[in-house]
Chains A and B, each alone.
Chain A
Amino acid sequence: MKRVLASISALFLGIALLPAQSQSLDPAKLLKPATDSWPTYSGDYTGRRYSPLTQINQSNVKDLALAWATRLASGTVPAPGAPPVIVGGEGTLAVTGGSGIDRGIRGAVLQVDGVLYATMPDNVWAVDARDGHEIWHYFWKTKGGTHTTNKGVGMWKNWIYVEMADNYLVCLDAKTGKERWHKSISNFDEQYFSSMAPIVIGNHLLVGTGNDLDEPGFLQSLDPDTGERQWIFYTVPMKAGDPGIETWANADASSHGGGNVWVPGSYDPDTHLYIFGTGNPTAAYTSQLRGPGDNLYTCTLVAINVDTGKMAWYYQTSPHDTHDFDSAQTPILVDGDFNGKPRRMVLTGARNGYFFVLDRTTGEHLVTGKLSNTINWSKPDLDKNGAPVHDPEKDYAIGGALVNGSVTNFPPPAFSPDTGLMYVPTSDNYHMVYLTTTDKRGAMGLGGIQEVPVISFGSYVTAMDYKTGKIAWQHRYPTASTQPGGGLNGMLVTAGKLLFTGDPSGNFIAFDPANGKPLWHSHVGVSNWPETYMLDGHQYVLVASNDSLYAFRLN
């Protein structure tokens, strides 16, 4: 009997080893956390970036070694040995390099049925997860637009979705990379640019977009089959009488008020609430024409019923922001003990350096903490909602205002239910903000000021205790003054008691999530954030380094 079982499992193993299976993702599967795939931006809907896998653990992580590495060539010319590039696009520019154009893999890489889907701006690849060989490559000729970091693809059934910088959503056949359709999701004439990883929830395809000029932010839900719009949610009041208009000078200000949606949120299947953070208000720095109010719903955590597109609650983490502190960080849904009672919560570490715990069904504020000890943009006391209060003295000055910069950014945090800690990539840094216009109206977009860096005090893994809002521990990455600062990387934490991330010196590191002690490293130069999955009986850890993918497993 034993022998029979062994041969049956060998048979299954044999089947599993065949390349290119169905390459399809049933959206219902996204509701059950899977360990054999990485099927959506954060791995699952919780945003925890926590894997229950334990094959790789503290006792054997020293044997973690490279299984394969592959280099992807952006543009229309295939890499040696790669299949011909499939070229699409509405534009005429085949952008392959140049200043201000991001050419790295800096978003999520999905893995479904043994195939990886990776992106750079204007590029999508399918790569065999078993050996790294390129299956197909789709390249988009662009009209232009800000080619910022692309955050990755979404998948629904056998279709792949990607946002292009010039605001087209492209639907590709997962198996072949052939285009099925593309749709405009925002207007390039209005200076929108798109980079968000589309999120699939049931038969909803959620897409956001970005803008640095003074145009309104919105989240749209599309029919994944046709691309037709199901609903649109504007993050700012678009006309007189809209909710939140009282926090703006007038409807002209609010409808040019920003609050863009460029980072995926998280989803609670029990309440059907999609919870996401919105970007900065505009004009970003010279805020006088926005009026003195809070400027809702910019820099806000917003909960939307995914079926209707209607807002259930909101919590503004940076009222009347004046520092381009987007609250576009992926929130984390946590079920846990709070004040002795089980509670369904959402955690977020905001770019302004504050940390928040809310009840995720009601939006009730529970805890505010700080991710950094060098924050100086805000006043000492919180407002009645528990949110920070901006200090106008630190907005800018003709002679310069010395103020902290972004404490964190879009690279995602992680949460381990084993330690109860949330791990946030943080940076302590100051710059001088000079007012550079005497125009009483201020400037549009990000203009009117100049931010000149002064110092990076250090970059850290910051572990937050959600029960207290206090820092449980911080690991400061040592650097010499000649090394650059910054370089925040996202996190992955596993039940194998390992916390994976990249440091600013180019090391891919596994830390002990209990205390931040480094346990393993490989010098690959991390450019995105790690993920993990089981494939053919092996646990893999995958990370990108600019134009390359690196897959690790136990030796």
Chain B
Amino acid sequence: MMEDQAVSDHARTIAGALILAVGVSTGAQTPQRQAGATQAPRLTNFPDRPKAPQEVLDRGRGMFGVNCAFCHGSDAGGGEVGPNLKRSTIVLDDQAGELIAPIVHGARVDKGMPRIDLTDAQIADIAAWLHSLPVTARTDPNAENINIVTGDAKDGEAYFQKTCAKCHSATGDLQGIASKLTNSKQLQQWWLMPAVSGRSGMSTLPAGLHVPEVTATVTLSSGETVQGVLTRVDDFDIWLTLSDGTLRAFERNGDQPKLEVHDPLAQHRELLLKYTDKNIHDVTAYLVTLK
């Protein structure tokens, strides 16, 4: 039930809106103020359990390895027979082995969990180790450092020549691209859609890479035309950054003034509706050879 994207996009929207605030003045006059504590306290998505001493954890892990891992996996994340204990409500609710002990001592024999001959103290050590394991709804995407280059470089080169070579070349703008963008995942995200600013941590481009900006031509009813970088547009206003760096705003009224947008990445947008995943993987496999 991840809501984060909508919220964070929204937060950015509001931030953008504040920077470029136009229109109604609200009259809300509350001054800047610091509410409550000066430093945000530590907020966790689950109880922040105190960690047991290392010798307890070592004993617990050893005991688990000998008695439990065969069924529940060496990481307690589940095996062929035994369920994942990390997400088990018994384990999550347990404090120091008190809920785990009855089951180890045979309460679920009818459900296939055999009785294990462990003392309450041993079970408490196992519980301490179980409670020290990170149990989170999210995982570190880079934990296994998986190579995302799975495509065929030859097919990728052929596809590149057919589809991309009108604008790009391996000896021109993309020369040495794989040396500039050494992270293959970043390289792939970058060539799919460059300069999606502010999103996904991909916004910082290495030196030497340039993504042209979206420009626009505004034609006023007088016939005057104004060109500039399209900085902001909504249903009511157009904001252009002119070549001298100044910002010029135009109020919109239906089709007036006329707005013509020049998006240098328009073809990238269109291609995103056409690529197969194989095309994408192949082109990346080709681009990573351009060192």
A interface residues, Cβ below 8 angstroms from B: 66, 68-71, 73-77, 79-80, 92-98, 100-102, 104, 106, 142-149, 187-191, 193, 210-215, 252, 256, 258, 260, 262, 279-280, 284, 289, 324, 326, 328, 374, 393-394, 397-402, 405-406, 409-411, 430, 432, 434-439, 441, 443-450, 452-455, 457, 477-488, 503-507, 509, 518, 521-525, 527, 545-546, 548, 550
Contacts and interface: CB of A to CB of B under 8 A. Distances in A.
Given A97-B40, A506-B17, A548-B28, A484 B198 contact: yes
Contacts of B280: 399-400, 402
B7 A521 contact: no
Contact of A453 (B3, B26, B73, B199): B199
A252 B185 contact: no
Given A96-B36, A149-B3, A399-B150, 20 more contacts: A76-B36, A77-B35, A80-B31, A80-B33, A93-B41, A95-B40, A148-B3, A149-B7, A213-B46, A256-B84, A399-B280, A444-B77, A457-B269, A478-B234, A483-B232, A484-B198, A488-B6, A506-B13, A521-B236, A523-B22
16 contacts: A69-B27, A73-B33, A74-B35, A80-B31, A80-B33, A145-B45, A399-B277, A432-B189, A441-B73, A444-B135, A450-B141, A480-B230, A482-B231, A484-B9, A522-B23, A525-B18
Interface string B227-247: 000111111100100000000
A144 B83 contact: no
A96 B24 contact: no
Contacts of B189: 432, 452, 454
Contacts of B214: 480-482
Nearest to A506: B17
B114 interface: no
Given A190-B89, A447-B138, A523-B23, A483 B16 contact: yes
Given A328-B1, A503-B234, A436 B40 contact: no
Contact of B143 (A95, A436, A503): A436
A287 B283 CA distance: 29
A481 B232 contact: no
Given A478-B235, A479-B233, A485-B9, A75 B36 contact: yes
Interface string B105-124: 00000000000000000000
Nearest to B277: A401
B181 interface: no
A477 B233 CA distance: 9
A69 B202 contact: no
Please classify the interface of chain A as helix (H, G, I), strand (E, B), loop, or mixed, using the class held by over half of its residues. loop
B92 A189 contact: yes
A211 B281 CA distance: 34
Given A454-B196, A505-B234, A523-B21, A484 B47 contact: no
Q: Give chain B's interface secondary structure class.
A: loop
Contacts of B43: 93, 95, 98, 100-101, 142, 144, 147
B267 interface: no
Nearest to A488: B6
Given A73-B30, A402-B277, A522-B24, A410 B231 contact: no
Contacts of A101: 40, 43
Given A432-B188, A503-B235, A524-B26, A75 B9 contact: no
Interface of B: 1-3, 5-7, 9-14, 16-18, 21-24, 26-28, 30-31, 33-37, 40-48, 73, 77-78, 83-84, 86-87, 89, 92-93, 135-144, 146-151, 185, 188-189, 192-193, 195-200, 202, 213-214, 230-236, 239, 263, 265, 269, 272-273, 275, 277, 280-281, 284
Contacts of A97: 35, 40
Nearest to B198: A484
Given A66-B26, A481-B263, A525 B6 contact: no
A480 B232 contact: yes
Most buried by B among A80, A193, A399: A399
Contact of B28 (A71, A77, A444): A71
A24 to B, nearest CB: 30
B23 A521 contact: yes
Contact of A436 (B41, B44, B146, B284): B146
Contacts of A262: 1
Contacts of A98: 40, 43
A75 B236 CA distance: 36
A102 B46 contact: no
A444 B273 CA distance: 31
B236 to A, nearest CB: 6
Given A187-B93, A193-B45, A399-B281, A410 B16 contact: no
B1 A210 contact: yes
Contacts of A434: 141, 146, 148, 185
A93 to B, nearest CB: 5
B71 to A, nearest CB: 12
Given A70-B28, A94-B37, A399-B151, A188 B46 contact: yes
B160 to A, nearest CB: 16
Nearest to B46: A191
A548 B236 CA distance: 23
B26 A447 contact: no
**List of 3 A-B pairs having minimum Cβ-Cβ separation, nearest first:** A506-B17, A445-B137, A486-B9
